[in-house]
Amino acid sequence: MGVTCVTQVPLAEGKSIQQTVEILTRKLEQLGAEKQGTFYVDCETYHTAGTNVGSTGQSGKLLYIMHCSEYPLSTFALFENGPCLVADQNLDVMMIKLKGFFQNAKANKMETRGTRYQYCDFLVKIGTVTMGQSGRGISVEVDYCPCAVPGDCWNLMVEFMQSFMGSHAPTVPPVFSSKHDALYTPADTMVQYMELLNKIRKHQQGTVTGMRL
């Protein structure tokens, strides 16, 4: 892999999630990008036993267990604002045995799935983010394959993203701030996905709370 940027794209005015995805993929194909299969990223939330996700005054830490089709033999364990552990799939079995300490908040499971595109040295993945059975948003991942140092290729990545995302091209991801001259790793991509999915989840929970008031 190279250097990766993960971002959310808002819905086009008057369009649905699927229609906005089609607009983005059409722009990519017009540039000359070719389909290269599909992808997925999923994220399960675990909370300290005895606490509830989103509860007022919760003091327990949340743990996120993530999987990615690009790394089918790996499982990523992340604490929000904390370290990222990369392990094999035995970690999933271990989490079942640790249910006395961490409980799976199954209702909060999120994933993004979609199509991979190759354009010259760029790999682009446009996915539909779902929570349960409902679409919640759109994720875009752009990977510049030849480079492994964010500071050496960010300007080029922005220029490419603007070519099909326009004004919605993102600013520098927070994870890049500590990686400007350091080598980029797969864990950095999963941190970005965790932040994106949490942002969408919290927005959804806020919307539901607002409707109940």
Q: Domain boundaries in the chain?
A: 3-205
Burial string for 107-131 (b: 16+ CB within 10 Å, else e) reads ebbbbbbbbbbbbeebbbbbbbbbb
What's the pLDDT tens digit per position in 23-76?
999 999 999 999 999 999 999 999 887 655 554 444 567 899 999 999 999 999
| Fold of the domain built from segment(s) 3-205 | Hypothetical Protein Pfu-838710-001 (2.40.320)
Q: Do the Cβ atoms of 95 and 87 come closer than 8 Å?
A: no
Q: Do the Cβ atoms of 1 and 143 come closer than 8 Å?
A: yes
- Mapping DSSP to helix (H, G, I), strand (E, B) and coil, where does residue 110 land? strand
Q: Do the Cβ atoms of 134 and 18 come closer than 8 Å?
A: no
Angle at 141 between CA 29 and CA 137, to 5 degrees: 90
Q: Do the Cβ atoms of 109 and 46 come closer than 8 Å?
A: no
Q: Which residue has the tokens 């089709």?
A: 69
| 47: β partners | 62, 103
Single-letter amino acid code for the residue at 57: G
pLDDT at site 207:
54
Q: Quick one: which of 102, 82, 83 has its CA closest to 92?
A: 102
| Range scoring the smallest mean pLDDT among 83-92, 95-104, 168-177 | 95-104
**Region 135-164 average pLDDT:** 95
What's the pLDDT tens digit per position in 104-148?
887 789 999 999 999 999 999 999 999 988 899 999 999 999 999
Q: What is the C-alpha separation between 80 and 78, in angstroms, rounded?
A: 6
Single-letter amino acid code for the residue at 34: E
pLDDT at site 57:
45
Give the HSE-up count for residue 187: Cα atoms under 13 Å, Cβ half-sphere.
Answer: 12
Give the residue ranges of DSSP H helices in 106-149. none
Q: What is the C-alpha separation between 27 and 162, in angstroms, rounded?
A: 11
Ramachandran assignment for 132, one of left (phi > 0), alpha (psi -120 to 50 degrees), beta (any other): left
This prediction has a pTM of 0.88
